[in-house]
Amino acid sequence: MKSQTANFLQFLKVERNLAKNTINAYGSDLEKFRKYLAARKKEKVSLINLTDIQNYSRTLKAGNIAASSIARNLISIKMFFRFLLREEIIKKDPSQDLEPPINWPKLPECLTILETENLLNQPVFRNKTGFRDRAILELLYATGMRVSELINLKVSDLNLKVGYVRCLGKGEKERIVPIGRPAREVIEKYLEKIRPAFVKSRKGYREPIFLFINRVGRSFSRQAIWKIIKKYAQKARLRKNITPHTLRHSFATHLLQGGADLRSVQEMLGHVNIATTQIYTHVNRERLKEVHKKYHPRG
């Protein structure tokens, strides 16, 4: 199974052009399944049947794994066997009749507008890192971009004069997202006064192409951005579990609360399927109740 998994992951990379993180997730899921089968001496793909997959699903459930994680594991397995069937490595897909667990969509955690303002105001402008961190937070909230998109953002991807940023999302899909005035102003000052000082600290003569760099002129990791946001969330005394993705969720939520249409939000988030964006429509429920109560004769 190990060699077939490697072929499958290569197929996802070359033919499906999926993002690296997505491919890694498929690989991780299938490796866990392979180890489960190896312990039962059924690692050979031609020996695997529906009962094996169902038993594996029950094992995951017994381990108190979330339904969403179990569903993702089973999707990885189904995709894998579809690939094997297509390549004529197996004659029948054992996962064909597999019923995935009920996976109710989890509503994303988001901040209120007041909480967002509080978070964004935490970095102080008295030092270089504070100025840069404010630019990072402002841009994440202004555009709803993913952290992976932020750390790979190049200076050349910005058009501050017009007020747009070019993002490369999952599967190298490109989209253009507007940037509001507050974020533009902070980024302009960062580019003018702060970034050049970080570039001078860099060893070597090549100037970094990435927009956000650390004090020694190197690009950020996802973990570094996560730590920055956690630090300012603690300073803001926010009790919610704040992650970089929280700002993305808040971006979408606040747009819809303000009356933005779902298609526009979908485009700015870079969602391929509008069903993914529809999870944010929960934010309008309370607002709709208020409108109904205020304007309906029997409200």
Contact of 170 with 270, CB cutoff 8 Å: yes
Q: Is 245 a catalytic residue?
A: yes
**CA of residue 213 relative to chain centroid, distance:** 21
Report the alpha-carbon distance of residue 184 to residue 295 in Å, rounded.
Answer: 39
Question: Of 72, 248, 249, 254, which one is the catalytic site residue?
Answer: 248
Counting Cα atoms < 13 Å in the Cβ hemisphere of 11 gives 16
Q: Is 263 a catalytic residue?
A: no
- Reading the block at residue 194, the tokens are 């702060």
Question: Of 170, 222, 235, 282, which one is the catalytic site residue?
Answer: 170
Q: Is 218 a catalytic residue?
A: no
Report the alpha-carbon distance of residue 61 to residue 54 in Å, rounded.
Answer: 11
Q: Is 249 a catalytic residue?
A: no
Question: Of 132, 184, 195, 271, which one is the catalytic site residue?
Answer: 271
- Reading the block at residue 3, the tokens are 């060699």
Q: Tokens 């054992």 correspond to what residue?
A: 94
Q: Which residues contact 82 (CB under 8 A, 6 or more apart)?
A: 93, 95
* Kind and range of the H or E run holding 80: helix 67-86
Q: Is 296 a catalytic residue?
A: no
Q: Is 282 a catalytic residue?
A: no
Question: Of 132, 146, 195, 249, which one is the catalytic site residue?
Answer: 146
Burial of 33: CB neighbours in 10 Å, binned 0-12, 13-18, 19+: buried
Beta strand spans in 12-142 (E):
none
Tell me the catalytic residues.
146, 170, 245, 248, 271, 280
